[in-house]
Amino acid sequence: MDPKKRIVVLVSGRGSNLQALIEAEKKDYFPGTIALVISDNPDAYALSRAERADIPTCVLDYSTFNSKKEYEAELLKILLGESPDLICLAGYMRIVGKKIIHHFPYRILNIHPSLLPAFPGLEAQKQAVEYGVKISGCTVHLVDEGMDSGPIVLQAACSVWDTDDSQSLADRILEYEHQLYPKAVKLFLEEKLKIVGRKVIREG
């Protein structure tokens, strides 16, 4: 029996964080295997990255569903069929519905390009530049029913320079994201995280 834990990754676009997880798996950095990549967007470049790494893919084209409810029902069916130990959102552009969250309580991770709770939602790097913060970064958190509001697993900080625009800041933060996400996945799969209230405590 494969002792490796099963990870399902949900994507919508470029997939550079998926790539970071693929590279980490190749190096046996965490005790898990990416069992499936699901995209809500048939044109997501992330799908090519998965195919190149021989990871099964599944496209659930959101535009072909009559409602979010129907889309989520299909997504849930697929997720349940995969029996994942962990679901990773990696540039997945939809809010995960309550039903899925309840089926996988605190088993869904997301990466967000700001130091939460600052700048949740879309265009976090643009929000940070416009606000004028001097430090930003990225956050890996467990997914709850709110918007980027679940318990924080790890954060990494970087400087915001006066010369930054949202693109240059996004590029800088992305480098930290690619380090941070595999670390969080490792801690999760090695069962080193304990959730106490809304705090995630690292054990061991």
Among 5, 7, 10, 17, binds ligand GRF (CB under 6 A): 17
Task: Quote the CA–CA distance of 119 and 124 in Å, as a whole number.
Answer: 5
Residue 148 within binding range of ligand GRF, rule CB under 6 A: no
Q: Is 141 a catalytic residue?
A: no
Nearest-approach distance from CB 34 to ligand GRF, in angstroms: 14
Q: Which token pair is 162?
A: 């006066």
Among 47, 111, 116, 143, binds ligand GRF (CB under 6 A): 111
Residue 90 within binding range of ligand GRF, rule CB under 6 A: yes
- By C-beta, is 118 or 174 nearer to ligand GRF? 174
Question: Could you tell me if 192 and 202 are in contact, meaning their C-beta atoms sit under 8 angstroms apart?
Answer: yes
Question: Could you tell me if 27 and 58 are in contact, meaning their C-beta atoms sit under 8 angstroms apart?
Answer: no
Torsion (CA) 12, 15, 18, 22 in degrees, nearest 10: 140
The strand pair at 152-159 and 135-142 is best described as antiparallel
Site for ligand GRF, residues 153 to 192, rule: CB under 6 A: 174, 177
Interacting residue ranges for ligand GRF, rule: CB under 6 A: 13-17, 90-91, 111-113, 174, 177
Q: So which residues are the catalytic ones?
A: 112
